[in-house]
Structure formats: structure tokens, C-alpha cells
A and B are shown apart, each in its own frame.
Chain A
Amino acid sequence: MSYARALRCRKCGQEYPLQPRSKCDFCLSPLEVTYDYQAMAGVVSRQKIESGLKSMWRYRDLLPTEEAEVDVGTGFTPLIKADNLGRELGLDRLYIKNDCLNPTYSFKDRPVSVAATKAREFGFDTLACASTGNLAASVAAHAAKAGMKAYVFVPSNVEQGKLVGIAIYNPVLVQVEGSYDDVNRLCSVVAQKYNWGFINVNLRPYYAEGSKTLGFEVAEQLGWRAPDCVIAPTASGLMFTRIWKGLDELAMLGLIEPINTHMFLAQAAGSAPIANAFAAGTLHVHPVKPDTIATSIAIGNPADGYYALQVARQSDGGACTVTDEETIAAMKLLAQTEGIFAEAVGGVVIGALKKMTAAGMLKKDDLTVAFITGAGPRTQEIVSDVVQPLTIKANMESLEEALGVIA
């Protein structure tokens, strides 16, 4: 059983029963799962969590699911102390949460695992989503594991390499011709018409909750404390708000001290509606037309942008944008200092880390955690210029000549 109590509108406070639903009927704002924290506090403890599964499901008591989870082995990914990168940037206490190491190579397995579990509870036999890669792969994998059908909609310009990582799980893969806006419009109609568990539409409030486990894990891995600073990428803004909610809940439950974590969000300069609003000091997130190599976070009209903005503001954090060139340089820096090959989004995070440290926004002795949320191989074409082998003949002479060894 779970301690989830209701869905609540983030804007007007209207409550709804725990059913599939995407937004508030009155003000059309996003909904959030609320819990009976008093009852929850009576059952959770550090010891209980520590003796649980070595996966995100060790935090089951803090998630909104009732029945057995749909789990492909997600979570409890490494939190590493990044001394080499820290030295390079001038940060003494830098950690990296390496969420590339999930079953489908991105953090999306966390929210999708929760959404798929709820979908099965609600009696849906089909999962669906619209995605440019990470989400689609995760949804297809979870549907396979759960024995459900999957429909995934992808824009027609998605790279072949990404399609393989989706199709291998055998979903119905629908490639949609037309502009990005056309795909959005179609999917919105599809989500209304069919009785499917549409991951980021009618399952979105539950989907969101999975990302809290990023905050839970980091706090536990730090020995039950919150970081001083968090830096994480944002697209729709959802994950960023849930890392914060995760930390906040642990404090509320008395599992960690009251938190004073500064939340910094990173966006690609070519798709930065939230960071733009932060810089402009406004509360309204104006949609933009995305243009960036970081395609996984190229969202121009972010559904939870306003709430991500609020978290950055209220936590006395910030927002930073990173150009494509800076992104690529930072991907290489991360790989060449810490041995972690992240996708472009990781480059955006490390690029932002570098800029904000240089600007004095992050302090040398702050305990800072950077979230690396997706793995490199899915978008490896963008750094293919690193391949510059020494080509030699199969003899020692040729080798030593190439290596510059004086015989």
C-alpha cells in the first residue's frame, strides 16, 4: 500500500482522486501527487531503507504505487567523488551522480518505472509516449517487461542509432512526418482519443514522482545529508522539481537535517526558455523554438517550466545556458577527467558547472552534486571528431615511428 492521498493542482489547490489525469480541469495547471506524510513518517527509517533493494524501489514507501513494481533494474546508480574534474574546475567537493548507468542508459527509467507500475494498476494494457529517444527506449523496455503493448511516436528526423535502441524492445514504432509542432499536436489528440497509459500525459503526475529517487539516493549516498548545491539539466522542468521535492521530503520525514540546497538548472543556449526567464527576472516562461545539439533537452514549451523556475529562485540557486561548442568541450572534459561518457545533456551540465564556478556562483568548498542523466553512445556522432587513430603497418618500426620513439 502507498501513502499517496490525492492529486493536487499546483496552482489552485483543487484535489482529484488518484486516477489517470493530466491537469487541473479548472485552471489547466499540472497536478502533483500528495501524501499522508504523518503516516509515512511512522514507517520509514534510515535502517529500513538501507536494508531494502539495491534499486530505486528501496524508496517504495515514498512512491505512489500500490502493487508490484514494473522494474527493469533501475536506480541506485553510483555517486562518485569527481576529484579530477573538481581540480580542473576549482571545486574541492564535487560529486557526480552517474545516471547513465540505468538499464536503458538514462534517468528516464526512474519516472517510467513508476508510470508503468501505475498504468498496470489502472488496468491499461498499453503504454504510449512521444519522444526523441530516451523516453521512448525506456517506455518500450518497461512495456516489454510488463507484458504490455507499447506505442511510441518519434519525429521523422530522429537518428537511426536511436531508433535501434527503441525498436529492439519491439514496440509499435510510429515515425511522424512533419514539424516538431505537428508531432506535438498529433500526440495531444492521440492521447485524448485512445484509452492508453500515455506516459507524459495522463500518467504524468505519477511519472514525475519517479525522479524523486534521484534526490533520495544522493542524500543517502552522502551519508544522509543534502548537498549544498545541485546542478541538473532541464527540459520540461519536471526532473529538476522532483530532485528538490525528494530532498525536501527526506527532511520533512526527519531522515535528514532541514535542507539548504541551492538548485541550479542548466539548459542548452539554443533551447533555454526557463533560464531566459530566470535571467529576465520574470515569472512567465515564454516558449522558444529549440535549436541545439542537445536534442534530449530541446523542449521549447516546458510544461513545468514555471515550477522549475520557482525552485531555482526559492532555493537561492540559479540558471545557466551552455552553447553547443561549450557542450561538446565539456563532454570531452568529463570523459577525459572522470572516465564518464555522457550524452550532450551531460555536456550541458558540466559546461554550466564550469561557467558558474568561474563566475563565483559555486564555491570551492561547497558540496556540489552534478547530475549526469544520459549516456553518450546514443548520440555519439556529435563527438566523432575524437577518433584520430595512429595508423601503422604491422611491424615495430612503423609503430615506434608513429609513437615518436627513438629506436
Chain B
Amino acid sequence: MSRRQVMFTFPQELVTEPLIFDLGRQFNVVTSIRRADVSENKGWVVLELEGNEGDIEQGLAWISGKGVRVDPVDGDIVEG
């Protein structure tokens, strides 16, 4: 089992879709939301994913394909 902490940013047209639910169900990953701010026109969610590495990778590829932006929670580690 591995864990991945990510931030999703949703554009307006996706805010009302149950993408996090689908991600969990279709890819067999457990999603645990830690922080979020969603309004009717956009939103972001910080969450931890738990599952096997391949499932997490596939799930993240799927959700970015849907138009959700995926970023690491730690911010950019590579600094100046």
C-alpha cells in the first residue's frame, strides 16, 4: 500500500461532478480529504490517497484527463 498527498483544482464545469467518489470507486483507492474550498465557480481539495501504487497512478491520470489539475501538496521541492 502506498500513500500520496495531492491537491486537486477543479474548473467551474467540474465542480458539481462526483469525481473524487468515482476516483475512489473505479481505481480502488481510499480518499481522505484534509482541506478544501469549493464555491460554485471553482474549487480545490487537498487530500491523501491510499492504495496500490499502480492504482494511484492510473487514478491520477484519469482525473487529470477529466480536466482536474493535480499538484503535489508539498509545493515544489526544487528551489532556487
B40 CB–A CB distance under 8 Å? no
A298 & B77 in contact (Cβ 8 Å cutoff): no
A234 to chain B, nearest CB (A): 11
| Among candidates A28, A133, A183, residue contacting B46 with C-beta atoms closer than 8 Å | A28
**Most chain A beta-carbon neighbours within 10 Å: one of B34, B73, B75:** B75
B35 to chain A, nearest CB (A): 5
B71 & A284 in contact (Cβ 8 Å cutoff): no
What is the total number of residues of chain A having a CB less than 8 Å from a CB of chain B?
Answer: 45
A96 CB–B CB distance under 8 Å? no
* A339-392 with Cβ < 8 A to chain B: 345, 374
Q: Complex: how many Å from CA A33 to CA B45?
A: 26
Contacts of B44 in A (CB 8 A): 284
Contacts of A302 in B (CB 8 A): 75-76
Cβ-Cβ contact count across A and B, 8 Å cutoff = 86
B1 CB–A CB distance under 8 Å? no
Contacts of A188 in B (CB 8 A): 72, 74, 77
B62 to chain A, nearest CB (A): 18
* B36-53 with Cβ < 8 A to chain A: 37, 44, 46, 48
* B6-58 with Cβ < 8 A to chain A: 9, 34-35, 37, 44, 46, 48
A298 & B72 in contact (Cβ 8 Å cutoff): no
A131 & B79 in contact (Cβ 8 Å cutoff): yes
Given contacts A27-B34, A28-B48, A299 and B75 within 8 Å (CB-CB): yes
A135 & B69 in contact (Cβ 8 Å cutoff): no
A205 CB–B CB distance under 8 Å? no
A299 & B72 in contact (Cβ 8 Å cutoff): no
B80 & A301 in contact (Cβ 8 Å cutoff): no
B37 & A303 in contact (Cβ 8 Å cutoff): no
Who on chain B is nearest to A233 by CB?
A: B80
Contacts of B48 in A (CB 8 A): 28
B69 & A187 in contact (Cβ 8 Å cutoff): no
**Which A residues are closer than 8 A to B by beta carbons?**
11, 22-23, 26-29, 108, 129-135, 153, 155, 180, 183-185, 187-188, 191, 200-201, 235-236, 283-284, 286-287, 295-305, 345, 374
Report 30 cross-chain contacts, Cβ distance below 8 Å, ordered by A residue. A11-B35, A23-B74, A26-B34, A28-B35, A28-B48, A129-B79, A131-B78, A131-B80, A132-B78, A132-B79, A134-B80, A184-B72, A185-B72, A187-B77, A188-B72, A200-B77, A200-B79, A201-B74, A283-B37, A286-B9, A287-B9, A287-B71, A295-B80, A299-B80, A300-B76, A301-B71, A301-B75, A303-B74, A303-B75, A345-B80
Known: A184-B72, A302-B76. 11 other contacts (CB 8 A): A22-B74, A23-B74, A132-B80, A155-B78, A180-B76, A185-B72, A188-B74, A188-B77, A235-B79, A299-B79, A302-B75
